[in-house]
């Protein structure tokens, strides 16, 4: 069934739930008026519905491939990229000085979600460019910015991120790629990177690789890593793509999904590169791109969830089986359960990501450390819960289809295969959860506590009008507070890490309850309140089992020895 961009949902969330009015009221984002936002969302939505959605299946059936060393993209992807580039959707939040629109990340997040829903494989290409643009804006020299940013923002040149090596996945500090100074301000970068998304394509004039490598005096571990911009073609004196650089795509992976996105093994053989950020400061610079991409990958999960939901709903409204009032399966209680779970979770995950983006925007516009801490806290939650929502909803979508869900033609299975990677790349679920309970709790849990205070205050105020919804949200929030205090008090980090994934998912469940309650307050007699009631009664209670697990420590996990696990 054709994809419909959920514009009214974004509009409602921006107007009533995530506090976007604060962003639009800042001087930095004074251009983001209601009219502009509405026009952007509907223009982008139209492109997604009409141009990107028809490419989704083509990418699955005809994956990107390497042909005599030349990367051939899936059919129609070049036109899709052109539409994205010409619409300005690469540079929505990029600096206007270099051709961007300078609009809030909140808007980029909504647009990225729509692009992910309509064609995830292709959307990964502009997502990589957006992340690299932000990294260059913050860390590159003025010369590099002037040369590269306008081309990336316009979509003439595409972009990649090169962290992973065979022995260095989650442990980026184990990388062995090297960079040798050339004595003229440039560097020769050598090494092999694996799993590089959109490592090449046949639609952009140049491909700009951001590569992590170690200088000769770089110490082992993450502290000795530097970041380099390594283009496929070295720009000539006029800034046009010149001679080919010493790099190539060695191979393209065969994957369980996301077939339209070429995942490449890249070989750099003394390729010419330029330093981005300070020597040995590469991880900090790359983190700008990674945080951008983490928000984006969470949005990929929600986008795919939306596509899968629309598919499943259309099928349920049409499929006749058994006796029901309407004659279709939509009226079976168990099918309703699946549909309502999907819809309620999409709303929760979407709200968390938009709130995360709003915090990023507020931090940028005000320079306020509390907003920065809020954004940092929400990033692993939004990334992981967004991905998990995508996986869960897409899998449920297959189930709604019954046997037809297992048949590829319906498209339900593709959503499930494509979205699976969102819990793996850009830091696995485990890495996100550990980030939440370790790095993001280095403040003793203060940022978490401030957010929980706000949620409780709102629930307290809502008790007067919606006690049946406000009470459970308040109580659930209090249990997250207790779990946070327990985690922070653990001296052995393994006890924290053992419960980290459960804690992250529980935190997200409670945040979802908060945003559903906010929606219900804004629409007390309408469908938003009905959906909120469903979420709070049926899905929010999951938090308590998760929190019990979050506080159970590591002892039982390690009680069986590896030998006993094998036996």
Ligand X SMILES: Cc1cc2nc3c(=O)[nH]c(=O)nc-3n(C[C@H](O)[C@H](O)[C@H](O)COP(=O)(O)OP(=O)(O)OC[C@H]3O[C@@H](n4cnc5c(N)ncnc54)[C@H](O)[C@@H]3O)c2cc1C
Whichever of 302 and 433 has its CB closer to ligand X, that residue is: 433
Residue 564 has a CB neighbour count (10 Å cut-off) of 8
- Would you say how long the chain is, in residues? 567
Whichever of 101 and 264 has its CB closer to ligand X, that residue is: 264
Classified as helix, coil or strand, 57 is helix
Question: In which element (H, E) is residue 341 found?
Answer: helix 333-366
Instruction: Kindly state the smallest distance separating residue 263's Cβ from ligand X, in Å.
Output: 4
Cα 480 to Cα 486: distance, rounded to the nearest angstrom: 10
Contact, 377 vs 451, CB < 8 A? yes
In the bound complex, which residue of the shown chain has the CB atom lying closest to ligand X?
169
Cα 385 to Cα 299: distance, rounded to the nearest angstrom: 10
Residue 71's beta-bridge partner residues? 66
Instruction: Kindly state the smallest distance separating residue 170's Cβ from ligand X, in Å.
Output: 3
Cα 100 to Cα 102: distance, rounded to the nearest angstrom: 6
Whichever of 285 and 451 has its CB closer to ligand X, that residue is: 285
Whichever of 45 and 260 has its CB closer to ligand X, that residue is: 260
Whichever of 169 and 471 has its CB closer to ligand X, that residue is: 169
Contact, 96 vs 129, CB < 8 A? no
Instruction: Kindly state the smallest distance separating residue 169's Cβ from ligand X, in Å.
Output: 2
Q: At a CB cut-off of 8 Å and minimum separation 6, what does 176 contact?
A: 165, 167, 168, 191, 214
Instruction: Kindly state the smallest distance separating residue 168's Cβ from ligand X, in Å.
Output: 7
Contact, 270 vs 111, CB < 8 A? no
Contact, 385 vs 505, CB < 8 A? yes
Structure token digits, residue 371: 């907003």
Structure token digits, residue 432: 């996100």
Whichever of 163 and 532 has its CB closer to ligand X, that residue is: 163
**In the complex, which residues of this chain contact ligand X (CB under 6 A)?**
160-164, 169-170, 195-197, 255, 258, 263, 421, 424-426, 428, 430-431, 434
Distance of CA 19 to the CA centre of its chain: 20
Measured in degrees and rounded to the nearest 5, phi and psi for residue 238 equal -90, 5
Angle, vertex CA 168, rays to CA 165 and CA 171, nearest 5 = 150
Cα 436 to Cα 427: distance, rounded to the nearest angstrom: 12
Instruction: Kindly state the smallest distance separating residue 222's Cβ from ligand X, in Å.
Output: 13
Whichever of 160 and 479 has its CB closer to ligand X, that residue is: 160
Instruction: Kindly state the smallest distance separating residue 173's Cβ from ligand X, in Å.
Output: 11
Whichever of 197 and 389 has its CB closer to ligand X, that residue is: 197
Distance of CA 43 to the CA centre of its chain: 22
Instruction: Kindly state the smallest distance separating residue 352's Cβ from ligand X, in Å.
Output: 21
Which one is catalytic: 165, 306, 426, 456? Answer: 426
Q: At a CB cut-off of 8 Å and minimum separation 6, what does 557 contact?
A: 498
Structure token digits, residue 231: 């283009």
Q: Report how far apart, in Å, the C-alpha atoms of 286 and of each of 180, 208, 280 are.
A: 19, 14, 11
Instruction: Kindly state the smallest distance separating residue 371's Cβ from ligand X, in Å.
Output: 28
- Is residue 306 part of the annotated active site? The answer reads no
Contact, 269 vs 131, CB < 8 A? no
Angle, vertex CA 402, rays to CA 401 and CA 403, nearest 5 = 110
Cα 165 to Cα 172: distance, rounded to the nearest angstrom: 8
Whichever of 424 and 522 has its CB closer to ligand X, that residue is: 424
Give catalytic residues, as residue numbers.
426
């Amino acid at each position: 069934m054709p994809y419909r961009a959920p514009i009214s949902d974004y509009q409602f969330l921006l107007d009533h739930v995530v506090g976007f009015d604060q962003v639009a009221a800042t001087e930095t984002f004074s251009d983001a008026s209601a009219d502009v936002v509405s026009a952007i969302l509907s223009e982008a939505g139209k492109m997604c519905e009409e141009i990107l959605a028809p490419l989704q299946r083509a990418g699955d059936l005809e994956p990107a491939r390497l042909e005599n060393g030349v990367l051939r993209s899936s059919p129609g992807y070049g036109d899709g990229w052109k539409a994205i580039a010409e619409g300005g959707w690469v540079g929505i939040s990029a600096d206007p000085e270099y051709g961007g629109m300078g609009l809030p990340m909140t808007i980029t997040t909504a647009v990225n979600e729509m692009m992910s829903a309509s064609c995830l494989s292709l959307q990964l290409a502009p997502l990589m460019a957006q992340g690299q643009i932000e990294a260059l804006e913050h860390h590159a020299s003025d010369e590099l910015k002037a040369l590269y940013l306008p081309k990336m923002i316009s979509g003439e040149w595409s972009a990649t991120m090169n962290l992973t090596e065979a022995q260095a996945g989650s442990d980026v500090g184990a990388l062995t790629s090297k960079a040798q100074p050339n004595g003229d301000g440039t560097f020769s970068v050598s090494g092999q990177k694996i799993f590089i998304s959109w490592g090449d394509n046949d639609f952009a004039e140049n491909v700009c690789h951001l590569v992590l490598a170690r200088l000769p005096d770089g110490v082992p571990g993450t502290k000795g890593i530097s970041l380099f911009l390594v283009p496929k073609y070295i720009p000539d004196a006029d800034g046009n793509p010149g001679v080919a650089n010493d790099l190539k795509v060695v191979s393209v992976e065969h994957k369980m999904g996301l077939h339209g996105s070429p995942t490449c093994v890249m070989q750099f053989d003394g390729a010419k590169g330029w330093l981005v950020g300070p020597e040995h400061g590469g991880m900090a610079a790359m983190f700008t791109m990674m945080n951008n991409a983490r928000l984006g990958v969470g949005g990929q999960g929600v986008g795919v969830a939306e596509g899968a939901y629309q598919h499943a709903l259309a099928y349920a409204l049409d499929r006749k089986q058994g006796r029901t009032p309407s004659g279709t399966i939509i009226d079976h209680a168990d099918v309703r359960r699946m549909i309502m779970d999907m819809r309620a979770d999409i709303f929760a995950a979407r709200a968390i990501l938009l709130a995360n983006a709003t915090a990023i925007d507020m931090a940028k516009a005000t320079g306020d450390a509390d907003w920065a801490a809020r954004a940092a806290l929400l990033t692993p939650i939004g990334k992981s819960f967004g991905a998990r929502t995508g996986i869960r909803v897409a899998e449920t979508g297959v189930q709604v289809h019954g046997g037809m869900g297992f048949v590829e033609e319906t498209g339900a299975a593709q959503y499930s295969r494509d979205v699976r990677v969102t819990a793996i790349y850009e830091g696995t679920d485990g890495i996100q959860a550990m980030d939440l309970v370790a790095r993001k709790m280095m403040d003793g849990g203060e940022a978490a506590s401030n957010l929980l205070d706000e949620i409780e205050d709102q629930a307290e105020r809502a008790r007067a009008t919606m006690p049946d919804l406000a009470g459970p949200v308040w109580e659930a929030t209090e249990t997250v507070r207790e779990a946070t205090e327990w985690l922070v008090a653990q001296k052995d980090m393994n006890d924290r890490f053992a419960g980290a994934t459960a804690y992250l998912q529980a935190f997200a469940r409670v945040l979802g309850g908060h945003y559903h309650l906010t929606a219900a307050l804004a629409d007390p007699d309408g469908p938003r309140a009905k959906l909120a009631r469903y979420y709070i009664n049926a899905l929010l209670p999951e938090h308590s089992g998760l929190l019990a697990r979050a506080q159970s420590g590591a002892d039982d996990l390690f009680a069986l020895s590896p030998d006993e696990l094998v036996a």
